[in-house]
Amino acid sequence: MVNDQIRALVHRYPMVRFATRQIRVRLPRRLGGLDPARVPPWNRDLTVALPRLDGEAPATGPDSIALRLPGDLTVPRRLAASGFTRHEPDSLACFLAMLDHAPPGAVLDVGSGVGVYSILASARTERPVFAFEPTPEIASAARVVSRSADLGFTVVELALSNHNGTAHLRRAQHNDMCNTIVHTSRADLAHIPVAVVTLCRWNEEASVRPSVLKVDTAGTEPDVVAGGLEVLRRHRPWMLVKVRPDRGLEERLMALLDPLEYTWYPVSGPPPYSARAEIAGRASPAWERMWMFTPSPAPDALWTSVNAWRSALAACSPGARGRP
């Protein structure tokens, strides 16, 4: 228990975490020493190539962006290693195709992290883009990304859920992509209080028309949908939702979405995808776990767009360097 609290304390504060690692690289392995080659830098500088369709005219947005982000965050490390080519490529291709075919309106990136989906939406469309991220240091990194190459998406440091007020955000110990809202009255050093609002309340105050909605909140996706049912009924956005298996999420999502008469597609490999009568997390592979929900059956032109964006993403090549 004490060891868990010490780990949570170190993990909670980036400066403490970095200083602890610098001490441990000087220790022998038998005393908990670390391999210096595997310790992330304080900052990670990387240049990320952005996908573009062949023959796109007029060209929209930059061909690449240069970023300096905290070195121990998961997504910057992955982008430095492989760019967009191996970061949920099928989901990103579906997302970009949805931007091409959805009606005019805003893009809501719920559980944005540093803003991968927001980057692409801002770079390749003129739509207003809102990135929702409750973890303070990750939201700060997303703001840095937004200022890069004048992308200009709006970072909203809130958690979307099924109620308004505050909640505990649990920091995942080994992967910051898995930080999530937890329902508990017992707070410890692994938890931080964050502001929580429903999508309906936020949308009422922001006065935007959502056209594309992406949700990846590490297990609370049904709560986000439940808090935005009126928005979904009124605006009928195209949706891309992470569905992790064996947690009861599939049943809750089906109960919420079935009355709205959306069509459900698992994101899995080359399209076209077949509509499903049931949502099952394992229908999408482990490196994706994403489902596309469309307000009406997807047209054939959508699958053509998905294939084009898959090719464009495969052509992206990363460039990176680390600075300790």
Fold of 42-316: Rossmann fold (3.40.50)
Task: Give the DSSP letter string of 21-53.
Answer: HHHHTTS-GGGT---GGGSPPSEEEEEEEPP--
For 313, the enclosing helix (H) or strand (E) is: helix 300-314
Would you state the pLDDT for residue 141? 94
Task: Give the DSSP letter string of 176-198.
Answer: GGG-EEE--S---TTEEEEEEEE
Would you state the pLDDT for residue 201? 97
- Which residue carries 């440091």 as its tokens? 157
**How would you classify the pairing of strands 290-294 and 238-242?**
antiparallel
Dist. CA 298–CA 260, nearest whole Å: 16
Would you state the pLDDT for residue 33? 73
**Sequence ranges of the domains in the chain:** 1-39, 42-316
The pTM assigned to this predicted structure is 0.87
- Per-block average pLDDT, block size 10, for the chain (324 residues)? 50 63 71 70 88 78 90 87 90 97 98 96 96 95 90 96 93 80 67 93 97 96 98 98 92 97 96 96 93 97 97 76 39
Dist. CA 115–CA 99, nearest whole Å: 16
Alpha carbon distances (Å) from 227 to 94, 135, 295: 24, 20, 18
Nearest Cα residue to 269 out of 120, 88, 99, 98: 88
CB 148 within 8 Å of CB 126: no
**Backbone torsions φ then ψ of 44, nearest 5 degrees:** -120, 120
Environment class of residue 309 by beta-carbon count within 10 Å: exposed (0-12), middle (13-18) or buried (19+)? buried
> Before 295, cis peptide (omega within 30)?
no
Order of strands across the sheet with 238-242?
A: 154-156, 129-132, 106-110, 210-215, 238-242, 290-294, 263-266
Would you state the pLDDT for residue 146? 95
Alpha carbon distances (Å) from 223 to 45, 80, 237, 245: 35, 32, 17, 16
Dist. CA 176–CA 262, nearest whole Å: 31
Angle at 177 between CA 173 and CA 182, to 5 degrees: 70
Task: Give the DSSP letter string of 113-171.
Answer: TTTHHHHHHHHH--S-EEEE--SHHHHHHHHHHHHGGG--PEEE--EEESSSEEEEEEP
Would you state the pLDDT for residue 61? 87
Under DSSP, is residue 60 helix (H, G, I), strand (E, B) or coil? coil
Would you state the pLDDT for residue 144? 93
